[in-house]
A and B are shown apart, each in its own frame.
Chain A
Amino acid sequence: MSGPFRFDGGPIDRSVSLAFRFDGRSLSGHPGDTLASALLANGVRLVGRSFKYHRPRGVFTAGSEEPSALVELRGGAWREPNTRATVAELFDGLEAFSQNYRGSLRRDLLAVNDLLAPFLSAGFYYKTFMWPKSFWERVYEPVIRASAGLGRLSGEADPDSYDKGFLHCDLLIVGAGPAGLAAALAAGRSGARVILADEDFVMGGRLNAETHEVNGRSGADWAAEAVRELASMNRVRLLPRTTVTGAYDHGVYGALERRTDHLAAANGKPRQVLWRIYSKRAILAAGATERPIAFGGNDRPGVMLAGAVRAYANRFAVGAGQRVGLFTNNDDGWRTAADLARKGVEVAAIIDARDRESVAEVPGARIVMGGRVTATRGRHGLKEVALATGERIGLDCLAVSGGWNPNVHLTCHHGGKPVWRDGIAAFVPGDLPPGMTVAGAAGGAFTTAAALIEGHRAAVEALGELGLPADAGDAPGASDEAANVAPFWHVAESRGRAWLDLQNDVTVKDVVQAHGEGFRSVEHLKRYTTLGMATDQGKTANVGALAIMAEQTGRTIAETGTTMFRPPYTPVPIAAFAGRSRGRDFRPTRLTPSHDWAAERGAVFVEAGAWLRAQWFPRPGETYWRQSVDREVLQTRGSVGICDVTTLGKIDIQGRDAQEFLNRIYANGFATLAVGKVRYGLMLREDGIAYDDGTTARLGENHFVMTTTTVNAVLVFRNMEFARQCLWPGLDVHLISVTEQWAQFAVAGPNSRALLGKIVDPEHDISNEAFPFMACGEVGVCGGAPARLFRISFSGELAYELVVPARYGEALMEALMAAGEEFDAVAYGTEALGVMRIEKGHAAANELNGQTTARMLGMQRMVSKRKDCIGNILSERPEMNREDGLELVGFRPVNRSEELPSGAHFLSIGAEAAMANDEGWMTSVAWSPELGHSIGLGFIRNGHARIGETVRAWDGVRGRDVAVEIVSAHFLDPDGERLRG
C-alpha cells in the first residue's frame, strides 16, 4: 500500500510518481489517476464550495457527470475554471485550485449564505430584491453575482490553440464500454470503417470499474485486449478523450477531442479538436449514470455514488474511505460493499431501502433492510450518519445508489422524448435520430452480458443495412448481474436539507416549493429552481427531481416527462467552437497584384470586402490623409495617375446567345454593341431597383467580358448563373469568373495615352482615331506580354484600363510607374478614385443602396422598352416614376469654406427638421482639390428642376446645418471632352 487510501494492484502504475499541487499543497499520484482519484488517495475530501450556499463539497462521482468536485486547473492565462476533477487526467506538475470561497476553502466567509438559506430558496431573488426598483441592477444583482458563480476566468486571452476537423465512417460508435467494444469488434472484424469515441482516456467503460468477467477473464483485461485488436485495424479509428457532444442532421455528429489536456504543455499543438463526424450509421453505447437518493445532508464530502466508490477501488486502487457504509435501493449497490470488503476496507453498514431479505453476507457490516438515512454529520467531511430509527453509525464514506439512468441524451437531439420503463425505474430512449441505434446500458440493458450481445447485434444489423458484409463471429460472453431496483427517491423523514442538484444547490424542498407556487411543467420547474441548469446539466439530479415533482402532482414519472436534452452533452469551450478562427485567421484576406508594391511604398490600406486596397500613398512630409489624396487627384488630372482596380468583378461570357443573354441581363440594350467596343450597363433587380453597374466589352462575335463592382462580383455572377440555368436554359451561354485571372490597372489623365504608348507594343495603334473612347482590344505590352486594353473612364479624364494575367500584375505596375516617371505619374488609391468619381458625378455604392431606381440616377431612358430585361416590368410601378421623385444632383456649400456633411438630410430653408419635411439625403461628399471646396452628391425631390435653388443639409447626428446650392452632378467637364480627347 502506498498510503492509507491506496490499495495494492489495479492498473495504476506505481513505478512512476506524479507530483501535483492542490491549493498549493504538494501531493503525488501515479499515471492512470484522475485528479479526483489522486486527491482521494491523498485523503483529500474537501475539494470545493458549492455554488449558492458555499457548502463544503467533495468528489461525488467518477465520471463526466460530476456536479461537485469542480476545480481551477493550471495558472496564469492557462487557468481553466469549473473543471471536473473526476475527468482531469493527472500529469506531473499539475496545479489545481479549489474554487468559490472567500478567505480559505476550510473557513469560507461566504458560508454565511448557508445560515441564510431560509431566505435563499428557489426564486428568492424574484421576491426578495423587488424594492427599490433601481437597486436590482445597481446593487442586488452585482452583489449576488459576486458571491455566486464558481471558478474565475483568467481575464486574459486563451494562449492555447484549437482546431477543427472532418471525419467520415460507416459506423460511429459512441462509448467504448462493453457494448461499444463489442460493436466495434464486430464491425471492425467485418472490414467496416469504424470510429469508436469515448470520453475517457482508457477505453472499457464500466469494465474497468467492475470485477465482472468477459469470456472467462477479467473485464478490464478483455477490454484492453479488445482495444489492442481494434488499434491494429487500419479501418478502425479509436478516439479516446473524445466526447461526442451532439447529434445533428444527416448522420453528422459533433465530437470534442482533448488532445493535450493530459499533458503539462501543449507545445504549440492544438489543445482540443472539434470534429464533425459524417456517419452512415451510429450506435449509441453511452452507458448509464448512477443516481443518488436524496436525504438530509447528502451533499457532505464523503457521500458518494456507490458505483463511483467501486470505480475508485477497482480501477484506481483508491479507497474513498476507511470505514464505509452503503445506502441503496438495488442489488447493484451491494457490489460496492463486496468489492470493498475484498480490498480489505471496513464496510461498517449496509442500509437498504427495500423491505426484503438481505442480498448477501458482508462480514462485519451492520445490515439494515428497509432502512433510511435521515441525516449526516461532519463539518468538512462525513463523520456519522443517522438512520430513521435514530441509530447513528460512524462512517467516513457513504456509498449511495438509487439505481441507474441510461445516458439517453444524444437520442433526444432531434426532439425524441425518452420513455419510462418500469422494470428498471428509468427513462430509456424514445424516437431515435435517423441512422442511430442504441446498445447496452444506454438503452436500459444494464448487465454486462446484455451489453455485449446488444453491441454485437447492433453492429451486425448496421452493416446489413449498409449492404456491407458482416463477418463478426459470436458476441463475447458474460454473466447477467441482478439489479432488482425498487424506486426510492428521497427520505421523507430527512432532517436538514436533502439535495437533488449538487451543482446548483437545489433541494427537495425547493422542488416542493416550486410546485406549491404553481409551477407544474418540468420546463418551468427547471427554470424556476435552476435545477439541471449548471454545467453538469443535472446528470445526477434530473430524474430525482422529476420523481419529486410527480409525487407532488400525483402523476406518474412517465406522465411528468423530462426536460429537453440539447447539445452539447458536456461543456465545450467557446475556443473550441472558434477553432483557429481567431485574430488574423478569422477570415481570409484577398490581395491585389500590386499589394506588395504598394506596401513597400507605405500605402494605407482599406478593407473592401475581403480585399485590402491601397487607400492612399503618403509621401514624406504629408501628415494628413487629405494632403496625399489631394495630391493624387491633382497629379492625375494634371498629368497621369495609375490605380490598381483588379478588385472589380470580371466575368467571361461566351456562347452563340451571349449577346441576347446580356440584352436580358442589362436594363439597357446590348444588341448593337460591336466587336471591339465597350458599353456601360445598368442591372436591375427583379423588383426594378438598380443594383449593379459596370462595363461590358465585346471581344469577339460570341465573346464578352463584363466588369462588376467589387462588392457585387459574386452576387452578379450568382444571379447570372441562375438566369442562365433556370430562367433561360435554352440559351447557349457560358459564364466563368476571371476576376482572379487578370490584374487590372486604371491609367487616367491627359498623359495616359503618352504613357501607354511606351508600354503597349508598337504594332498596336492606340491613337484617338484608331482606339477611340469606349474601344477595346487585345494588345501586347512590354515586348509581347498578353494584355487587353479598354478605353473607359471612371475619373472623367482621358483614361484606359490595362489588363494583364495576374502573374504579370506587379511587374506591370513597376513598368507603368517607371515609364511614367517623365510625366510625373502618380499611384492613386481608392480615396482619390472616390474624389474623382464624385467630381464627375458617377454613382457608386453610396448611391446604389438598394432603394435606387434608374430614374433616380437620371438613367430612366436607358431602360430599354423595346426588349425584355430583368426588372423592366416592375420598374414601371407608378411610385417609382413620380414626377416629383428623388433625383441625383450635385450640391455645393453656399459658404464655400464649409464642409458638407455626408448623410445629411435636405430641408427647405426655414422648415422644421421633421420627417414630414424630409426632401432627400446627401449620399457622397468629397473635398474637390480641383474646385477648392467641398462637393456632394445626393438625392433630392425633383432635383433637376431645382438647379440653382438653396436648401439646407441638416445633420442631426453631428449637429450640422449647412446651406447648400443644388447644382449639376457633373462638377467637372460636363460635356465629356476630356475623356474623348
Chain B
Amino acid sequence: MAETPLRARPALDGYNRTVGAVALAEVSGLALVSAAVPQGGDEAFAAALAEGLGASRPATGDSTAGDRHMARILGMQPDQLFILFESPDPDRPAESVLAALGGAAYVTDQTDSWAMLRIAGAGVRSALERICMLDLADEAFPEGRVARTVMEHLAVIILRDGADSFLLMSPRSSARSFLHAVELSVLNLSE
C-alpha cells in the first residue's frame, strides 16, 4: 500500500508536560475501533474475540487485555465494545478488526473521533477530583475499569490503565478545550 504524503496531525499536537507529581501526555499511534455485537451473536462474538485477539469479552464498565496487537477491549454499553490496539494498518484499523473478528461484529473506526490523553503520577487523583465527578478510589474504580462521563461539559471516556494512570478520551474537535480543562486542574493543584 502506498504511503500517503498527507501529513497526519495529532489531535493535541503531541502534547507532553509534567507538572509537579502529574504527567500529562497525548497518546497517539493507538487505533480505536468500536465493535457492535449483532443481535443473537454474543457467542459468536466471544469466540471470535478469543480467536482473533486472544481476549475475553469484558462486562460493560470493565476492560480486558488481548494477547495480540497490545489490544485492550473496553465494555462501553451492553452491545458495544471499543478495541484499543496497535493496528497493523494504521490507516485502516476497522478493516484489521473486521478481519480479526471474522465479521462477528459491526466495526467502526473511532481512532480520530477521540483525542487520547494519559494523566499519570502520584498526584493524579487529586488533579482529577477537580474535574471528574466519578469516584476513582481503588475500591470503586480499580485498574481496568472504564466509564463514560462528563468533564467541563465535554464527553469523556476514562480508563484506568495503571495504579496511578488514567487514559482520558474526549472528542477531537473540542480536544484543545479539554486539554486546557485538564491542564488547569493540574495547575490549580500544584504548589
Contact = CB atoms under 8 A, between A and B. Distances in A.
Q: Do A and B bind each other?
A: yes
A786 interface: yes
Interface string A165-187: 11110000000000000000000
B38 interface: yes
Interface stretch (A14-22, A423-431, A685-693, A804-812): A804-812
Interface stretch (A369-377, A406-414, A589-597): A589-597
B188 A164 contact: no
Contact of A161 (B5, B38, B110, B188): B188
Contact of B6 (A278, A590, A652, A785): A785
B91 A786 contact: yes
Contact of B92 (A273, A786, A806): A786
Range, interface on chain B = 35 or more
Contacts of A585: 180-181, 184
A739 B171 CA distance: 9
B18 interface: no
Contacts of B178: 588
Nearest to A275: B129
Interface string B107-119: 0111111100000
Contacts of A193: 137
B184 A580 contact: yes
A591 B9 CA distance: 14
Contacts of A591: 173-174, 176
A467 interface: no
A494 B48 CA distance: 90
B68 to A, nearest CB: 22
User: By CB atoms of chain A within 10 A, which of B8, B34, B79, B112 has the most?
Assistant: B112
Contacts of A809: 9
Contacts of A168: 135, 137, 140
Given A784-B3, A810-B9, A270 B135 contact: no
A278 B187 CA distance: 24
Interface in A586-643: 587-593, 610-611
A975 to B, nearest CB: 38
B174 A808 contact: no
Contacts of A654: 36, 106, 108
Interface in B35-58: 36, 38-40
A646 B153 CA distance: 21
B152 A785 contact: no
Interface residues of A, number: 60
B188 A784 contact: no
Interface in B1-39: 1-11, 34, 36, 38-39
Nearest to B170: A588
Contact of A164 (B34, B91, B130, B173): B130
Contact of B129 (A166, A655, A739): A166
Contacts of B140: 168
Nearest to A809: B9
A495 B47 CA distance: 92
Given A732-B39, A782-B4, A165 B130 contact: yes
B7 A811 contact: yes
B115 to A, nearest CB: 9
Contacts of A143: none
A276 interface: yes
B59 interface: no
B106 A785 contact: no
A282 B48 CA distance: 48
A231 interface: no
Nearest to A162: B188
A783 B178 CA distance: 33
Contact of B172 (A587, A611, A806): A806
A811 B180 contact: no
Contacts of B184: 580, 585
B188 A269 contact: yes
Interface in A868-918: none
Given A611-B173, A734-B79, A806-B112, A587 B9 contact: no
Interface in A791-811: 804-811
A780 B2 CA distance: 10
A590 B11 CA distance: 12
Contacts of A610: 174
A contact face: mostly helix, strand, loop, or mixed? mixed
A582 B91 CA distance: 40
A784 B114 CA distance: 23
Given A166-B129, A736-B80, A807 B174 contact: no
B157 interface: no
Contacts of A524: none
Contacts of A486: none
A539 to B, nearest CB: 31
Contacts of A165: 129-131
Nearest to A737: B113
Contacts of A580: 152, 181, 184
Contacts of B154: 588
Given A580-B184, A591-B173, A786-B91, A741 B109 contact: yes
A864 B187 CA distance: 58
A593 B112 CA distance: 11
Interface string A192-208: 01000000000000000
Nearest to B39: A732
B188 A163 contact: yes
Contact of A741 (B1, B111, B181): B111
Contacts of A590: 171, 173-174, 177
Contacts of B176: 589, 591
Nearest to B171: A740
A740 B173 contact: yes
B174 A702 contact: no
Contacts of B171: 590, 740
Contact of A734 (B80, B91, B135, B173): B80
B106 A702 contact: yes
A812 B6 contact: yes
A655 B79 CA distance: 12
A810 B6 CA distance: 9
B132 interface: yes
A655 B41 CA distance: 12
A483 interface: no
A781 interface: yes
A738 interface: yes
A674 interface: no
A736 B110 contact: yes
A130 interface: no
Given A655-B38, A734-B80, A740-B171, A588 B152 contact: yes
Contact of A805 (B112, B177, B188): B112
A732 B2 contact: no
A815 interface: yes
A463 B10 CA distance: 49
A610 B172 CA distance: 13
A740 B3 contact: no
A656 interface: yes
Given A652-B108, A736-B34, A806-B172, A784 B4 contact: yes
Nearest to B76: A736
Interface string B58-99: 000000000000000000000110000000000110000000
Given A168-B140, A278-B135, A782 B6 contact: yes
Nearest to A812: B6
Nearest to B177: A588
User: By CB atoms of chain A within 10 A, which of B40, B106, B133, B171 has the most?
Assistant: B106
Given A168-B140, A654-B106, A736-B34, 20 more contacts: A163-B130, A164-B130, A273-B130, A585-B181, A588-B153, A590-B173, A591-B173, A655-B39, A736-B80, A741-B112, A783-B3, A784-B4, A784-B91, A786-B91, A805-B8, A805-B91, A806-B173, A808-B9, A811-B9, A812-B6
15 contacts: A168-B135, A273-B130, A580-B181, A587-B153, A588-B154, A654-B108, A736-B34, A741-B110, A741-B113, A784-B2, A786-B91, A806-B11, A807-B112, A810-B7, A812-B6
Sort A-B residue pairs by CB-CB distance and give the 3 closest, nearest first: A588-B177, A734-B36, A784-B2
